[in-house]
Amino acid sequence: MNNKHCEIAIIIEKDEYGYYAYCPQLEGCQSQGDSLEEIKTNIQEAIELYLSVLTEEEKESLLLKEISIMKMEVKVA
């Protein structure tokens, strides 16, 4: 798995303090930033660091998890 590219699901939330991002596939992998551009850079660095300490088997197991993100329309009372 060395030097291969893969897709990671990332959730980015904006609040009054800036941006917060985390990866559902990688428990505890999260970051924050003041702008959208900064959070993209920060979460990419966090993911690469997170993955750098895992064994090849751990990486494969985590990266094979299927993560779906969708929007759903619901009735609000």
Q: What is the pLDDT of residues 20-33, one digit of tens each?
A: 999 999 999 999 99
Of 14, 15, 51, 44, the residue nearest 30 (C-alpha): 44
Q: Indicate if the pLDDT at residue 5 is higher than 90.
A: no
The pTM (predicted TM-score) of the whole model is: 0.82
User: Domains in the chain, ordered, with CATH?
Assistant: 11-63 (3.30.160.250)
Per-residue tokens: 18 = 């800036």
68, 51, 39, 64: CA torsion to nearest 10: -10
**For 56-68, what is each residue's pLDDT tens digit?**
999 988 888 888 8
